[in-house]
Chains A and B, each alone.
Chain A
Amino acid sequence: NAGVTQTPKFQVLKTGQSMTLQCAQDMNHEYMSWYRQDPGMGLRLIHYSVGAGITDQGEVPNGYNVSRSTTEDFPLRLLSAAPSQTSVYFCASSYRQKLSGANVLTFGAGSRLTVL
């Protein structure tokens, strides 16, 4: 049981390049989401998905695209990278606790992206 797997762990891009951050979970969780973490800013929600084929925007969606063709995978695409997208990106999947009904997020280890 690997949990939430993110690749790559590190990536350096030039301004204008495109790339995809991969996220896969093997826990059959319905909900998946992407956050970015910047120093002093906490974690901010980029996009999320409540199930295969359904995605929606979070707090900071501009410059990012997502899709959810399967339950397991939730890739994050940067179409034209900008230095402002330099950040650590975390993918999370969540399950609903039976007792409380609340969703508990399980985070991946993160992908550190630098845009020059």
Chain B
Amino acid sequence: QQQVKQSPQSLIVQKGGIPIINCAYENTAFDYFPWYQQFPGKGPALLIAIRPDVSEKKEGRFTISFNKSAKQFSLHIMDSQPGDSATYFCAASLGGGSQGNLIFGKGTKLSVKP
């Protein structure tokens, strides 16, 4: 049973575009939702995270939108750059992420064309 569903699998945008990656979860007990960014040959790295008590969080050009009633959350990348080309994973956790165990989506490979 896949507890975090991520779409699309891949995404191509032009420089300056706004790619949007969507995730949906099933377990209403999840209360911590991070996004990780992974470049080829590297381990994933935390990009931004949100808790369900807020509907939006911005850090630089990255924004998470959260819809608790729909059990969905999404990542928006404003003014995307070729350097943003990477694989993005959404994830969810219990206990506010206190145990460090994350359930990941399957990932979205983003390509930003110059």
B102 at the interface (CB under 8 A from A): yes
Q: A102-B49, A107-B44, A110-B43 are in contact. Are A42 and B105 (CB under 8 A)?
A: yes
Q: Tell me which residues across on chain B come within 8 A of A33, comparing CB atoms.
A: 100-101
Q: Tell me which residues across on chain A come within 8 A of B98, comparing CB atoms.
A: 96, 101-103
**Chain B interface residue count: which class?**
20 to 34
Q: Tell me which residues across on chain A come within 8 A of B46, comparing CB atoms.
A: 104-105
Taking a contact as CB atoms under 8 Å apart, the answer to whether B104 and A42 are in contact is: yes
B52 at the interface (CB under 8 A from A): no
Min CB distance B109 to A, Å, is: 10
Taking a contact as CB atoms under 8 Å apart, the answer to whether A44 and B104 are in contact is: yes
Taking a contact as CB atoms under 8 Å apart, the answer to whether B41 and A42 are in contact is: no
Q: A45-B103, A59-B103, A92-B43 are in contact. List 20 more A-B contacts (CB 8 A).
A: A40-B9, A42-B104, A44-B104, A48-B99, A48-B100, A48-B101, A50-B100, A94-B100, A96-B98, A100-B51, A100-B97, A102-B96, A102-B98, A103-B93, A103-B98, A103-B100, A104-B46, A105-B100, A108-B43, A110-B43
What are 26 A-B interface contacts by the 8 Å CB criterion? A31-B99, A35-B104, A40-B106, A42-B6, A42-B105, A42-B106, A44-B104, A45-B101, A48-B100, A48-B101, A92-B43, A92-B100, A96-B98, A100-B96, A100-B97, A101-B97, A102-B49, A102-B51, A103-B97, A104-B34, A105-B100, A107-B44, A108-B43, A109-B42, A109-B43, A110-B42
